[in-house]
Chain A
């Protein structure tokens, strides 16, 4: 029934079941170490690799050919790659950071510090017949390959600016009612972190000619960032869903080709939101409401029609994002004068927690380094101490009996005696020789104890460092304009004077009375409904 021509849907919006060539994938090296890669089809030797394009990480080498057409989420083994002629070319790669792969490499470097390398070779083909060497699995090392989502992209994208992270954007998009079909204005685009989350929220299909669908209108005045972002939108299959404009919005406002985007949701991540706010008015703002006391050039002709970038017949929800309280004060003041209501300022504190086992106990096996071999409770301590005492006594008794026989014995016993002395001391200090690894294994298997990963108390603790402040979020709402003409129409359509009952009261007596009246009125209908219900129950029983 779906007669639409097939469009290539962004892997962010529908990645399909398997990885595809020329499409973005996120390699997960460890939980927080993500690497975005555009998968290349194997077309022959690349940059010295017989296997074609290869991603090198500290977990091993991963030829693209091993990551193509596999189910998303797959665990990928490292490969032994044939570095062949690569040695010399290495340096040049590092210098070239206009290629997308190099950016990927940079992000791995950034997150892992010096020494870590992730190089995927450039994509240009080397002519000649494609002969690709089959990759050979390495004995160790693996990664996982995940479909791109705004969350993964946000933590792996090439940073060009500060970005908005998931804890903030998830809350913002919820509050500004960005939903399938919404039109959202965003400035500035920056690194595109928010844009990706926003487009997912408003997406309700790709528009065909003349069709209006959920869309993000994004603005960025930094030229290089604009071009990078433009490229990304294209690479990510988001053309038609994100419309990026190269513009200084303080002066230029938010119209696109002179026309209104008709936005109903707005997000401003700009140093001076109050400079942009007057543009987001339904009517021409008086000169005094522009920060400089006069409209910017191009908007100063009062005879020209004012075109608002806002949807004329919808409530508009706005959020601004500013790190400093002074910015908030100015922004809020401007919002009030421009007629925004329900102004609300919050900041989001997000914490990540890690669950682990707190393994404390004298008898715990040293498994995976995470053990604290001290007494886990008073009982264990007392038992242990008592054991030591007992051993001491035993030892003393032995020594006494030896001493008794010493007169008759040879002097050779002295050595042994001192050995025992040491053992006693060791025991007293709680430093009894620990079992060897094999012995521990033995203990694990022979005794009926818990496996080491189930020992100890389950605890949660925070990250070693937490973000305590990202930015202040100021929310506001601009209701639609309501003219006297509108009011007259509505009043004619919904005339007053026919009121029958009262709603919304807390008065129970009134409500009861009403319900009684209603029931009387509805008698015939409800009988039918009852019969139906009975029939249905019967049907179920018989079925």
Chain B
């Protein structure tokens, strides 16, 4: 994530209204903030995120507003004044009367702007606090100043109005009745805004509050945090790539690189019906969502930095304002960054680099580690929100992106019945090098593309079916029991499971599959249908009505929910907010994949009934099986 606003980045503008506007900051455009005004985009490019900008009045010779960075002291002027006022109430401070406080004539609420409006709504005069303070000191009597300090009183307003009028030419000429005018205390910061980097947290909040919350299944920040932690999603190891099998064009499937289970590490299995938000959240946690995660602002080192800032070449390159990434049009297509061992993809191919030998068709571009495998129910995954981070799953010639080598997708059909999927089961075309050479480039391109697609599909399906995943993460509209039936066998022993659901019912039904009574019946011979099955067969138990899942495959089943209650913190007025977002509450199911011992393992009976009184409900008869929450 960058600290400097880069050309063509997606950003979130936080407006004075509290609303957020998400847009891509294209150079040489004008950003309109609607009623708040507009300004050239270039005025925020190369500037830092999170500072507060203020739109200034247009200069006479310019047709746009310039921006000013508002110092923090100015942002808080009003609060500081209140704090000072509160201090004055304390005996020690208030004893001074007008003494010390006379320094600031009107309480130093620097953010205020006053306008005097006539009965037709025209602004007659406008001035801000500093100017008024200055002139008050010069023109007002001590009594009037005292009156002014009594904030809120009508008398004070009259004095301000009088002051304002003194700034116009009007007061001399006409004797206005003040009653004809309205004094408006406007806030200058209505023209203030902030630019935030569009990371997962900011994006999700915007979706939730201002767009379509149902698209992300109402997943609040609390839930994203819980799911990510309980599924133990984190950087899964340095990239490792399979060697290029260097298959010649006349070689078929047998020339594909076989899956090597020993190399597979740090892989998470995902079912995502949040249009890619869940995948984005995981990718962010794994360090494969943003380019160059660890780079600071790319401005050449400045200031006294004690540690050498590590500036990568790509970072410096990124400095040159480049147009929006255009898909490269090398011969045929590249589909993926076929660049194993080259972790820093170049942001644009503007600069010619020494060309590496082209990888063969059967080269697998995916890392063996630190990957996300998405299971989808349509023929294509819906990960449309990834486009906010510059990734488009459907784009054939994708510019470099860290997800290219770390995101694998396959359909449920490819997982469950790969033989019925034509892209998996149809062998790749073959041709002798001579025949190939005789073809037109477009035909050749097609040929290579098909072979590449075949090798990749085969690899994704085979490696997924090989299992050994480090965790399962779900936010899906599908029945979690059916998801588990097919994914539980794919999890490594001890791997965590975290399933988000906007409502609790599906999760409760799932938890019920692992209830103590059901488990007891399963291990205690209450299931004649499993008599004589091997452990291997039990692992792949396809379920029936009595036992939808093998109840011994999960350990520590638990359901939870979290809610952040937001507070207002102001001098003397600290309290929780009066309203918050309602709607779906959101729940997370968590557990770990267990490897049951072969044969029957009886529970130890010694501690039976220990907590029956305190819990008052079904108490565990078996250790090693979840108990109803213990106190």
Known A75-B596, A315-B50: A144·B555 in contact at CB below 8 Å: yes
The range of chain A's interface size is 35 or more
A28 partner, pick from B446, B515, B555, beta carbons under 8 A: B555
Determine whether A180 belongs to the interface, using a CB cutoff of 8 Å to chain B: yes
Determine whether B337 belongs to the interface, using a CB cutoff of 8 Å to chain A: no
Chain B proximity mask over A493-530: 1 for CB below 8 Å, otherwise 0: 11111111111111100000000000000000000100
B592 partner, pick from A73, A312, A357, A451, beta carbons under 8 A: A73
Contact B563 A348 (CB under 8 A): yes
In B246-275, the 8 Å CB interface with A consists of: 265-266
Contact A453 B521 (CB under 8 A): yes
Contact B516 A174 (CB under 8 A): no
Determine whether A1 belongs to the interface, using a CB cutoff of 8 Å to chain B: yes
Contact B624 A346 (CB under 8 A): no
11 pairs, A vs B, C-beta closer than 8 Å? A59-B623, A72-B595, A166-B229, A177-B199, A177-B201, A205-B238, A262-B306, A315-B50, A353-B560, A458-B512, A464-B615
Nearest CB to that of B517 among chain A residues? A453
Which B residues are in CB contact (< 8 Å) with A501?
A: 29-30
Contact A181 B601 (CB under 8 A): no
Nearest CB to that of B422 among chain A residues? A543
A543 to B450 Cα, complex, angstroms: 7
Which B residues are in CB contact (< 8 Å) with A201?
A: 234, 285
Contact A174 B201 (CB under 8 A): yes
Determine whether B461 belongs to the interface, using a CB cutoff of 8 Å to chain A: no
Determine whether B45 belongs to the interface, using a CB cutoff of 8 Å to chain A: yes
Which A residues are in CB contact (< 8 Å) with B47?
A: 482, 487, 490
Which A residues are in CB contact (< 8 Å) with B43?
A: 494, 496
Determine whether A49 belongs to the interface, using a CB cutoff of 8 Å to chain B: no
A33 to B142 Cα, complex, angstroms: 73
Interface of A is mostly: mixed
Taking the closest CB of chain A, its distance from the CB of B149, in whole angstroms, is 23
Known A212-B310, A503-B30: A77·B597 in contact at CB below 8 Å: yes
Contact A313 B235 (CB under 8 A): no
Known A305-B304, A453-B518, A536-B396: A141·B40 in contact at CB below 8 Å: no
Additional pairs, 9, CB under 8 Å, beyond known A336-B79, A337-B76, A505-B34:
A28-B555, A29-B624, A146-B592, A212-B310, A339-B72, A354-B629, A494-B7, A496-B43, A543-B426
Determine whether B297 belongs to the interface, using a CB cutoff of 8 Å to chain A: yes
Known A75-B595, A144-B624: A17·B468 in contact at CB below 8 Å: yes
Which B residues are in CB contact (< 8 Å) with A430?
A: none
Taking the closest CB of chain A, its distance from the CB of B491, in whole angstroms, is 8
Contact A149 B221 (CB under 8 A): no
Determine whether B21 belongs to the interface, using a CB cutoff of 8 Å to chain A: yes
Contact B594 A356 (CB under 8 A): no
Taking the closest CB of chain A, its distance from the CB of B57, in whole angstroms, is 16
Residue among A29, A259, A479, A506 with max Cβ neighbours from chain B (10 Å) = A479
Determine whether A332 belongs to the interface, using a CB cutoff of 8 Å to chain B: yes
Which A residues are in CB contact (< 8 Å) with B310?
A: 211-212
Determine whether A4 belongs to the interface, using a CB cutoff of 8 Å to chain B: yes
Which A residues are in CB contact (< 8 Å) with B568?
A: 345
Determine whether B365 belongs to the interface, using a CB cutoff of 8 Å to chain A: no
Taking the closest CB of chain B, its distance from the CB of A134, in whole angstroms, is 17
Contact A312 B561 (CB under 8 A): no
Known A1-B240, A180-B287: A504·B614 in contact at CB below 8 Å: no
B630 partner, pick from A32, A200, A535, beta carbons under 8 A: A32
Which B residues are in CB contact (< 8 Å) with A145?
A: 494
Which A residues are in CB contact (< 8 Å) with B23?
A: 503-504
Determine whether B286 belongs to the interface, using a CB cutoff of 8 Å to chain A: yes
B603 partner, pick from A141, A453, A489, beta carbons under 8 A: A141
A141 partner, pick from B235, B287, B604, B631, beta carbons under 8 A: B604
A151 to B23 Cα, complex, angstroms: 37
Contact B596 A204 (CB under 8 A): no
B569 partner, pick from A341, A345, A493, beta carbons under 8 A: A345
B628 partner, pick from A140, A354, A505, beta carbons under 8 A: A354
Known A144-B624, A315-B49: A355·B515 in contact at CB below 8 Å: yes
Contact B40 A496 (CB under 8 A): yes
Which B residues are in CB contact (< 8 Å) with A260?
A: 305-307
Determine whether A266 belongs to the interface, using a CB cutoff of 8 Å to chain B: no
Which A residues are in CB contact (< 8 Å) with B305?
A: 260, 262, 312
Contact A1 B624 (CB under 8 A): no
Which B residues are in CB contact (< 8 Å) with A539?
A: 446, 449-450
Determine whether A271 belongs to the interface, using a CB cutoff of 8 Å to chain B: no
Determine whether A402 belongs to the interface, using a CB cutoff of 8 Å to chain B: no
A368 partner, pick from B24, B71, B516, beta carbons under 8 A: B516
Contact B28 A460 (CB under 8 A): no
Contact B237 A14 (CB under 8 A): yes
Determine whether A472 belongs to the interface, using a CB cutoff of 8 Å to chain B: yes
Known A171-B222, A496-B40: A32·B629 in contact at CB below 8 Å: yes
A479 partner, pick from B28, B50, B593, beta carbons under 8 A: B50
A482 partner, pick from B51, B422, B468, B629, beta carbons under 8 A: B51
Known A315-B48, A539-B446, A539-B450: A370·B618 in contact at CB below 8 Å: yes
Taking the closest CB of chain A, its distance from the CB of B623, in whole angstroms, is 4
Taking the closest CB of chain B, its distance from the CB of A276, in whole angstroms, is 19
Determine whether B158 belongs to the interface, using a CB cutoff of 8 Å to chain A: no
Determine whether A170 belongs to the interface, using a CB cutoff of 8 Å to chain B: yes
Which B residues are in CB contact (< 8 Å) with A495?
A: 42
Which A residues are in CB contact (< 8 Å) with B596?
A: 75
Chain B proximity mask over A314-356: 1 for CB below 8 Å, otherwise 0: 1100000000010011001100110111111111111111111
Q: Which one of B98-106, B115-123, B474-482, B503-511 is at the interface?
A: B503-511
Which B residues are in CB contact (< 8 Å) with A499?
A: 28-30, 40-42, 64
Determine whether B134 belongs to the interface, using a CB cutoff of 8 Å to chain A: no
Determine whether B399 belongs to the interface, using a CB cutoff of 8 Å to chain A: no
Known A139-B602, A336-B80, A482-B69: A535·B446 in contact at CB below 8 Å: yes
In A421-448, the 8 Å CB interface with B consists of: none
The 6 closest A-B pairs by CB, nearest first: A72-B494, A73-B493, A180-B287, A181-B294, A313-B297, A170-B225
A169 partner, pick from B229, B304, B341, B396, beta carbons under 8 A: B229
Taking the closest CB of chain B, its distance from the CB of A474, in whole angstroms, is 8
Determine whether B309 belongs to the interface, using a CB cutoff of 8 Å to chain A: yes
Which B residues are in CB contact (< 8 Å) with A489?
A: 46, 299
Determine whether A291 belongs to the interface, using a CB cutoff of 8 Å to chain B: no
Which B residues are in CB contact (< 8 Å) with A403?
A: none
Taking the closest CB of chain B, its distance from the CB of A4, in whole angstroms, is 7
Which B residues are in CB contact (< 8 Å) with A9?
A: 237
Nearest CB to that of A171 among chain B residues? B225
Known A71-B493, A259-B307, A454-B546: A477·B566 in contact at CB below 8 Å: no
Which A residues are in CB contact (< 8 Å) with B426?
A: 543
Taking the closest CB of chain A, its distance from the CB of B46, in whole angstroms, is 4
In B421-473, the 8 Å CB interface with A consists of: 422-423, 426, 429, 442, 446, 449-450, 453, 468
Which A residues are in CB contact (< 8 Å) with B628?
A: 354, 356
Contact A356 B229 (CB under 8 A): no
A345 to B574 Cα, complex, angstroms: 10
Residue among A29, A328, A355 with max Cβ neighbours from chain B (10 Å) = A355
Determine whether A132 belongs to the interface, using a CB cutoff of 8 Å to chain B: no
A344 to B43 Cα, complex, angstroms: 28
Contact B495 A73 (CB under 8 A): yes
Determine whether B232 belongs to the interface, using a CB cutoff of 8 Å to chain A: yes
Nearest CB to that of B26 among chain A residues? A503
Contact B241 A1 (CB under 8 A): yes
Contact B626 A31 (CB under 8 A): yes
A507 to B494 Cα, complex, angstroms: 54
A141 to B605 Cα, complex, angstroms: 8
A15 to B468 Cα, complex, angstroms: 12
Contact A355 B559 (CB under 8 A): yes
A505 to B23 Cα, complex, angstroms: 10
Taking the closest CB of chain B, its distance from the CB of A298, in whole angstroms, is 17
Taking the closest CB of chain A, its distance from the CB of B555, in whole angstroms, is 5
Contact A480 B624 (CB under 8 A): no
Which B residues are in CB contact (< 8 Å) with A504?
A: 13, 21, 23, 31-33
